Structure 1
């Protein structure tokens, strides 16, 4: 079975989408439609803007969504057996399989990104990748800290991301380094995503999302919150809202996709970050 996976924030790069725009009439039409709906030239930010501007959450999420969904729309024979997306990528996946329209998804991403940007500007937080420690050790250290700090992305064996308030993040990173973390890398994001810090954004998004028309999915989507396949629109909607404060269970959902028959994974969107992470999970299962 063929699985398609969609990346999230962090996969952006300067000039992203420009090649799609220049080589496909449908892509050009959808890029122009995005500018019209948003009321500003998002294409300028993607094609010719600076990385300093592009990395702002309110622009990054839009850029990755637009690039990913357009790439899926112009693919020949895009007929997935199952899909999944990492964080924001979940919305790209849903638009690509027509659970909601490209236009509605764009409005939803714009609102999600705006709400998350507000939190980023009011609460100093961040995220860090921890390499070389077992998940349960990282979970224990986070739990013992008296600040807001939690595991936020279960990416692959030996790689877990933590997220929280800046002071708590620094304390926990120092503790993990002392007990044997092979490497600790700060992510190029300006917020504590997938943590309790995002609770105010979740409450506001839950009200807004009722305005968006959802359909049942035509193929299983494996969502971040549960790591399980979902078809029904109400379940999909609930999981999108919960995702803001819940960890991304990428490792677990890929394991479930493989258990349910996935033998190939194709990444749709900017970059190939997910391809590498997913390959590690696949190889771990089959001990390659």
Structure 2
């Protein structure tokens, strides 16, 4: 019997056309897209399905991603597949909260729309992010601490891939030190700001205020938080974790390792792309990974899990 986790990708995996076949073929998925548009006042279908530049702008990307992921999630749930735990990378944590029952769809869409706006507004000039390849996360964190200026770890993705974030000059200086410390490559990322850096603390503060209007529901299925890489089962903890997440490191590798250590052996990535499955293979090659990205994937995964 498989022990299943649902996992949800974050910003950067988006593309034009994501979720369109779900909208056209699955009634519950169509309802999700329609609700997201109604709640936010945006044309979510146009944003997700038709060629446009907004899909790659943070304030629009975030709501588009969560709407598409939730539409795919609902289609999978109709097959009777239930996870033991949920987790999402960065933005994907909001869809994990929907899957866990902590956020209802309306509140989640309202909150994610505001999060995207706040993060876009908070982006300082001169921010940067760089992927560090071929060096362990602990060494990278120590180098960042020694580097003059604002630079820290944004994402612990998987063994051999960690992302640093902060002031452009500090990130560049840290990258040179990391290459001297044994990193194979340091690859600057094309992003609009230093995400998951203390430089975006103001966005977290605004989000905290916005969450006063949001009610967190009882958590039916535990989820693993980015900030702590630990299970969350108390609804009282959710808001503070979401506030801290904006400016804190995403402990994705540690989150997956935690789930595996507790017996999870099957991970279903729900959302555009296969980024998380790529990380999973590097974290534990024995773990099974599936992907729900197209409507046709639903039947394939359901049949595979019944074997």
1:122-133 equivalent positions in 2, closer than 5 A: 122-133=124-135
1:196-235 equivalent positions in 2, closer than 5 A: 196-235=198-237
**Cα distance change, pair 284–80 in 1 and its aligned pair in 2 (3 A):** closer
1:98-113 equivalent positions in 2, closer than 5 A: 98-113=101-116
Q: Secondary structure at the match of 2:284?
A: helix
Q: Which of the numbers 115, 118, 131 marks the counterpart of 1:115?
A: 118
- Asked if the contact 2:30/2:71 (under 8 Å) is kept, the reply is no
Q: State the match for 2:140 in structure 1.
A: 138
Q: Which of the numbers 38, 41, 47 marks the counterpart of 2:49?
A: 47
Q: State the match for 1:78 in structure 2.
A: 81
CA distance in 1, matches of 2:112, 2:265: 30
Q: Is 1:69 matched up with 2:70?
A: yes
- Asked if the contact 1:132/1:181 (under 8 Å) is kept, the reply is yes
- Asked if the contact 1:267/1:275 (under 8 Å) is kept, the reply is yes
How much does 1:216 deviate?
2.2
CA distance in 2, matches of 1:71, 1:82: 17
CA distance in 1, matches of 2:128, 2:19: 27
Deviations 1:80-129 (A, max 9, x none): 11111101100011112321111110000011111000012x43312111
Q: State the match for 1:5 in structure 2.
A: 7
Moved more, 1-10 or 127-136: 127-136
CA distance in 1, matches of 2:153, 2:35: 37
TM-score (norm 1): 0.94
Q: Secondary structure at the match of 1:181?
A: coil
Q: State the match for 1:149 in structure 2.
A: 151
Q: Which of the numbers 213, 235, 238 marks the counterpart of 1:236?
A: 238
How much does 1:132 deviate?
0.6
How much does 1:55 deviate?
1.2
- Asked if the contact 2:17/2:49 (under 8 Å) is kept, the reply is yes
Q: State the match for 1:25 in structure 2.
A: 27
- Asked if the contact 2:4/2:83 (under 8 Å) is kept, the reply is yes
Q: How many residues end up aligned between the 2 structures?
A: 283
CA distance in 2, matches of 1:33, 1:59: 16
How much does 1:147 deviate?
1.2
Moved more, 103-112 or 16-25: 16-25
How much does 1:173 deviate?
1.9
How much does 1:284 deviate?
8.3
How much does 1:36 deviate?
1.8
How much does 1:57 deviate?
0.6
Q: Which runs of 5+ in 2 are unaligned?
A: 288-307
How much does 1:58 deviate?
0.6
Deviations 1:43-91 (A, max 9, x none): 21211133x4211111111111111111111111131111111011000
- Asked if the contact 2:8/2:88 (under 8 Å) is kept, the reply is yes
Superposed CA RMSD in Å reads 1.6
TM-score (norm 2): 0.88
Q: State the match for 1:251 in structure 2.
A: 253
- Asked if the contact 2:226/2:255 (under 8 Å) is kept, the reply is yes
Q: Which of the numbers 181, 184, 192 marks the counterpart of 1:182?
A: 184
- Asked if the contact 2:201/2:247 (under 8 Å) is kept, the reply is yes
